[in-house]
């Protein structure tokens, strides 16, 4: 059963292929090499004569940085930037190769397919208004988003054509992988938690921080009086990703969250809500909704995850070989300081996640 299981994989061989929305460079940032600012029209690479410039790289890098910024403290995020920039260059080259090939094959998504993708994105936000606000904050129009999704769907259509029918993993392959990698499924003590975040930043004055804390104190009072935590998270939390899920962060073990958050989460009983917790992200209310003791996770609980992982491994191999074939037949030039380096290993299971 061949689906868009790939989700464009986020990573294709050497890096991400998904571009940021639209073609506009955010005004608030300037492309840099090391500590030196460079002109937006500086050549980063050429793919069969089509130029990728620093503005495009900066946009791609900003998208990746924003995704990590929800989970990584600013001091750690700055250390990740060189690696992410390398992946962004590879992503843009891969994307151009795939778009060129999709155009050669005349692949074009329908308006209905693009509309469906937009609806999926909107559904991840608490409301249409918050979705529109996020676009506006990024300097992106709906037409920009539609154009970007059109390109990404072209790529998905091309990739789907490369995945052989009937190549999905079998139950036996899943069981064999599980049996041979039992240590990968050893689970430390975990808690399941939700949170409501009111962000503050270094630019906030003490008075502004006090106002934000007071806002969260009022929300805590509502919860103590019987209001629904998840509804209040959806309506008030500044963590857009979890707010759409009622503040749900899922299960996590020690070392996944920043210490101040983790310390409180692991001391709460199931169903308990914390007092206000301050971290580098802002002020939180934390509700623990589940607890798991340490041990080996049964196959039944991870079968779907293992199946997806093994399917992705097979697909990544096919896609990686396909992109490598395109690269070998293409003329690719790199600008000064943008030459590719060896990518980090991606063979780990479960798939590595950025620290929270």
Range 121-141 average pLDDT: 87
What are the residue ranges spanned by the domains of the chain?
Answer: 7-168+300-334, 189-293
d(CA 195, CA 279): 12
CATH class of the 7-168+300-334 domain in this structure: mainly alpha
DSSP-derived letter for residue 351 is P
Q: What b/e readout covers 304-322, taking b as 16+ CB neighbours within 10 angstroms?
A: eebbebbbbebbbeebbeb
Q: Supply the pTM of this predicted model.
A: 0.57
Range 303-322 average pLDDT: 92
To the question of domain 189-293 being in CATH 3.40.1050.10, the answer is no
Range 179-203 average pLDDT: 94
**Range in 83-97, 142-156, 157-171, 263-277 the model is least confident about:** 157-171
Query: Beta 32-33 vs 295-296: how paired, if at all?
Result: unpaired
**Which of the four pLDDT bands, split at 50, 70 and 90, describes residue 347?**
very low
Q: What b/e readout covers 40-54, taking b as 16+ CB neighbours within 10 angstroms?
A: eebebbbbeeeebbb
pLDDT at position 37 is 66
**Range in 63-77, 110-124, 133-147 the model is least confident about:** 63-77
**Which of the four pLDDT bands, split at 50, 70 and 90, describes residue 22?**
very low
Cβ neighbourhood burial of 300 (10 Å; 0-12, 13-18, 19+) = exposed
Q: What b/e readout covers 13-30, taking b as 16+ CB neighbours within 10 angstroms?
A: bbbbbbbbbbeebbeeee
Range 5-16 average pLDDT: 32
d(CA 325, CA 328): 5
pLDDT at position 16 is 34
In this chain, the answer to whether the domains covering 7-168+300-334 and 189-293 adopt an identical fold is: no
What are the tens digits of pLDDT across the range 35-65? 456 788 899 999 999 999 999 999 888 888 8
């Amino acid at each position: 059963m061949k689906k868009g299981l790939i989700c464009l994989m986020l990573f294709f061989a050497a890096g991400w292929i998904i571009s940021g929305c639209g073609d506009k460079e955010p005004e608030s940032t300037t492309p840099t090499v090391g500590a030196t600012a460079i002109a937006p029209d500086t050549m980063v690479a050429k793919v069969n004569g089509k130029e990728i410039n620093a503005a495009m790289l900066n946009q791609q890098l900003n998208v990746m940085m924003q995704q990590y910024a929800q989970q990584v403290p600013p001091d750690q995020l700055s250390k990740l930037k060189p690696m992410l920039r390398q992946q962004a260059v590879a992503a843009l080259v891969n994307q151009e190769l795939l778009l060129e090939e999709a155009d050669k094959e005349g692949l074009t998504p329908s308006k209905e397919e693009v509309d469906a993708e937009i609806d999926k994105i909107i559904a991840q936000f608490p409301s249409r208004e918050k979705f529109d606000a996020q676009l506006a904050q990024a300097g992106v129009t709906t037409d920009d988003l539609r154009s970007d999704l059109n390109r990404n769907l072209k790529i998905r259509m091309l990739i789907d054509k490369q995945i052989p029918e009937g190549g999905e993993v079998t139950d036996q392959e899943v069981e064999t992988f599980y049996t041979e990698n039992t240590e990968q499924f050893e689970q430390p003590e975990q808690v399941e938690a939700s949170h409501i975040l009111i962000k503050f930043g270094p630019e906030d004055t003490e008075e502004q921080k006090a106002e934000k804390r007071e806002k969260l104190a009022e929300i805590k009072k509502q919860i103590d009086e019987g209001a629904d935590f998840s509804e209040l998270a959806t309506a008030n939390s500044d963590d857009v990703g979890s707010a759409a899920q009622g503040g749900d962060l899922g299960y996590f073990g020690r070392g996944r969250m920043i210490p101040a958050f983790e310390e409180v989460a692991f001391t709460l009983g199931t169903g308990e809500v914390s007092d206000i917790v301050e971290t580098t992200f802002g002020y939180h209310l934390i509700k623990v909704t589940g607890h798991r003791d340490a041990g080996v996770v049964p196959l039944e609980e991870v079968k779907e995850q293992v199946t997806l992982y093994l399917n992705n491994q097979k697909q990544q191999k096919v896609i990686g070989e396909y992109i490598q074939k395109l690269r070998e037949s293409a003329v690719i030039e790199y600008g000064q300081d943008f030459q590719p380096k060896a990518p980090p290993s991606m063979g780990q299971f479960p798939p590595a996640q950025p620290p929270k």
